[in-house]
A and B are shown apart, each in its own frame.
Chain A
Amino acid sequence: MAPTTRQEDSGSPSPPTLKTPGRGARRVRRAFQVVVAAVLLVLFLFPFYWVVITSLNHTNQVLQFPPSFLPHWVFQNYARAWSEAPWLRYFLNTIFIALVTTLLVLVTSILAGFAFGSLRFPGKNLIFAGFLSIMMVPYVVLIIPDYIVLKDLHWLNTYWAQIFPFAGSVFGIFLLRQFFLSLPLELWEAAQIDGASRFRFLRQVALPSARPALVTIGIYTFLGTWNSFLWPFIMTSSPSVQPIEVGLSTFLGTNGTDWTGLSAAVVFTTLPVMVLFLLLQREFMAGASAATGGVKG
């Protein structure tokens, strides 16, 4: 029998032993489950549906009561919203920042993860503990001093201000360290016999087998960078370097009551992330389990 859930208590009066619930009880439970699933489906999807519907209606159609629940295929909203802000620029900025950040995170994490996982050096555990301690630093304390650092480097309002502060990832280092720790010694011995250096071993043997971990780190970094707001919002001021979320916030500030245009902008700025997620869903879920793998104890 499947493990317990709460509806066994709320569903029907349950017999003292639950080994073989009657067919009726099972059907009630099944119906209950379908209802709950349907409610959740509506709750979580309706806001998306509503924004899409709004973006495809005339303004007077969305401001009437009762509002229109069906699209009228009005595409002017998209044309208007697109023409009112440098969206292409925002898109290209976001893609560039997200790609370079992801690449840098992968490189720094691979190297540091390999050092912690496969090399022996004095003070290794102490240094690793020092790395892990960063996870305890709430990022709010970094905003002001990092702003000062970036200002002194004359990097405010550049791409670098949005890339370099995130180029070292403790999460990435941790994940790859765990992976490299689990590599069997025989692999390295065999590589040594073939005359390979540590670096070549890393490149040709360790890395290809670390692919799942690399994909996880890549997805999380890319999506995280794409969705970030506070940091670029503070560190940049001109649209020529700003990412899409900051652009959207500016657009909200200037077109605050143009709900159809705003909805259109929300749709075309969000669609790429959604498509990416739906394509990489399986890897994303695997990453979520990996991230908590150490917690289960």
Chain B
Amino acid sequence: MERTVAGSVAQGARPPLKQVRRLSDGVRALLFLAPAVAFLLVFVYIPAGVSLGLGFFHYKLTGIDTTFAGLYNFKAALTYPIFWQAFRNTLYYAVLMIPTTLVGAVLIALLLYRDRRIFSMIRTVVLLPYITPVIATSIGWLWMFDPQYGILNAVLTALHLPVSQWLLSPQMAMPSVAFYSLWHGIGFDVVIVLSALAGVPRSVLEAAAIDGATGWQKFWKVTFPLLSPVIFFLAIVTTLATLQAFSQVYALSSGTGGPEFATMTILLLMYLTAFQYFHFSYAAAMAIILVVMILILTLVQGALSRRWVFYQ
């Protein structure tokens, strides 16, 4: 057994003392855990439980008469066309974001990690959007996306290419939001992939080269399997982040989810339902449906991961 502080009592020599020790250690642990437990209990555990129940009631913020609603709120959501639009949009956004983030991050990391100077400079540059606030950078992109005066259309005009309405076009609005999110978020994934790449042993790659492996083979047979646990981790994190994206959707659509509900996501609809129209239980039902969606997507990825993730 490894000699660590935690193991000290187990190895303690004198039996009579041990009894006393363990008890007081338990009390001590209780005191040490109390602050964290108190905060998590009040703001995470209990609310998470309440949230599950809330969808099944007619909860009103003002009155006390909370009546049981059964599946009423869920039925209402699932028969509401805008909700389905939001459901499709949320999935569409995830489909736009997850593959591009992962492939983009691996490509950028692979292309840059050889040269130390380029490497450290680019690493800082791609991380810069990630650490800057979403509302602030969204305003910058809102300005660049502006169909009339924005720089994107100005450049396209100068190149004699067709311009776009970007965020004001129902077709382009969601891809535009995804483009912003990619710019904002990919730096984090790049840094994680880079730190994983640093852990790929050179000797293995050299051995592969000696055996006559091409660069393509070395990537798929050596580097990728060694990176796969980290890529899987990023896939899960990106899934969670994209399905719960709010700030950029809110800022880039001026809080409306428009045009024509093209950027209405489940979370934005939930926000509007709860805090603009004060239908708390209805919004809670939407939140539960979103959580089920997250759960299913995560489980599917977990099941698929057995086919491609390689654990050493």
Contact mask for chain A residues 144-182; partner B; CB cutoff 8 A; 1 contact, 0 none: 111111010000000000001111101001000000111
Q: Which residues of chain A from 1 to 20 have any CB-CB distance to chain B below 8 Å in the complex?
A: 1-9, 14, 16-19
List the one stretch of B28-36, B75-83, B94-102 in contact with chain A.
B28-36
Given A3-B223, A121-B25: A44 and B126 within 8 A (CB)? yes
Residues of A contacting B215 in the complex (Cβ-Cβ under 8 angstroms): 4-6, 8-9, 14, 18
The answer to whether the Cβ of B158 comes within 8 Å of any Cβ in the partner chain is yes
CA distance A5 to B137 in the complex (A): 32
The listed residue (A6, A252, A278) touching B111 by CB distance below 8 A is A6
- Contact pattern, B 119-130, Cβ under 8 Å of A = 1, otherwise 0: 001111111110
Query: Known interface pairs A120-B6, A223-B131. Does A4 touch B218 (Cβ–Cβ under 8 Å)?
Result: yes
Q: Is A77 an interface residue (CB 8 A)?
A: no
CA distance A289 to B214 in the complex (A): 29
Interface check A24, CB cutoff 8 A: no
Closest B residue to A19 by beta carbon equals B209
- On whether the beta carbons of B240 and A185 are closer than 8 Å, the reply is no
Residues of chain A within 8 A (CB-CB) of B4 are: 118, 181-185
Contact A37 B133 (CB under 8 A): no
Contact A3 B192, CB 8 Å, known A40-B108, A112-B32: no
What bracket does the count of chain B residues touching chain A fall in? 35 or more
Binding site secondary structure of chain B: helix
Please report the C-alpha to C-alpha distance between residue A154 and residue B292 in the assembled complex, in whole angstroms. 31
What is the 8 Å Cβ interface bit string for chain B, positions 234-278, against chain A (1 contact, 0 not)? 000000100110110011001100000000000100110011000
Q: Is the CB of A9 within 8 A of B251?
A: no
Tell me whether B291 and A140 are in contact (CB under 8 A).
yes
Interface check A254, CB cutoff 8 A: no
In the complex, chain A residues whose CB is within 8 Å of the CB of B219: 4-6
Residues of B within 8 A of A3 (CB): 114, 197, 200, 202, 205, 218, 223
Q: Mark B197-225, 1 if CB is under 8 A from A, else 0.
A: 10110100110011011111011001100
Q: Is the CB of A115 within 8 A of B29?
A: yes
Which among B7, B140, B284 is the interface contact of A48 at CB below 8 angstroms?
Answer: B140
Whether B8 and A263, one on each chain, are in contact in the complex, defined by CB atoms closer than 8 angstroms, is no
One of B121, B122, B222, B267 near A140 (C-beta < 8 A) = B267
Do A66 and B154 touch across chains, with their CB atoms under 8 A apart?
yes
Known contacts: A270-B132, A297-B229. The answer to whether A34 contacts B118 by CB under 8 A is yes
Q: CB within 8 A of B209: which of A18, A50, A107, A277?
A: A18
Let me know if B229 and A296 touch, CB within 8 A.
yes
- Specify which chain A residues have a CB less than 8 angstroms from the CB of B25 in the assembled complex: 119-121
Given A138-B244, A226-B133, A51 and B35 contact (CB-CB distance below 8 Å): no
Q: Shortest CB–CB separation between residue B76 and chain A, in angstroms?
A: 16
Q: How far is the CA of A186 from the CA of B11 in the complex (A)?
A: 13
Chain A residues lying within 8 Å of B3, measured Cβ to Cβ, are 184-186
A247 and chain B: residue at smallest CB distance = B135
A residues within 8 A CB of B50? Answer: 145, 148
Query: Is B144 part of the binding interface, using a Cβ–Cβ cutoff of 8 Å?
Result: yes
B123 contacts which chain A residues (CB < 8 A)? 285
B91 at the interface (CB under 8 A from A): no
Q: Which of B132, B183, B197, B205 interacts with A274 by CB under 8 Å?
A: B132
The verdict on A111 contacting chain B, using a C-beta distance below 8 Å, is yes
Q: A114-B32, A269-B136, A295-B233 are in contact. Are A142 and B195 (CB under 8 A)?
A: no
Cα distance A120–B267 when bound, in Å?
A: 42
For B143, what are the chain A residues with a Cβ–Cβ distance below 8 Å? Answer: 50-51, 54, 259, 262-263
Contacting residue for A115 out of B33, B112, B154, B196, CB 8 A: B33
Q: Nearest chain-A residue to B195 (Cβ)?
A: A289
Partner pick for B133 among A139, A145, A229, CB 8 A cutoff: A229
A249 at the interface (CB under 8 A from B): yes
Beyond contacts A33-B114, A33-B118, A111-B35: 5 other A-B pairs, Cβ-Cβ < 8 A, are A37-B121, A144-B287, A151-B61, A167-B35, A184-B3
What are 17 A-B pairs with beta-carbon distances under 8 A? A6-B219, A17-B210, A44-B128, A47-B137, A67-B149, A112-B36, A112-B37, A114-B32, A115-B28, A117-B6, A121-B22, A138-B244, A183-B5, A227-B131, A249-B251, A252-B251, A262-B139
Q: Which residues of B contact A (CB under 8 A)?
A: 3-10, 22, 25-26, 28-30, 32-40, 42-48, 50-52, 54, 59, 61, 107-108, 110-115, 118, 121-129, 131-137, 139-144, 146, 149, 151, 154, 157-158, 183, 187-188, 191-192, 195-197, 199-200, 202, 205-206, 209-210, 212-216, 218-219, 222-223, 229-230, 233, 240, 243-244, 246-247, 250-251, 254-255, 267, 270-271, 274-275, 280, 283-284, 287-288, 290-291, 294, 311-312
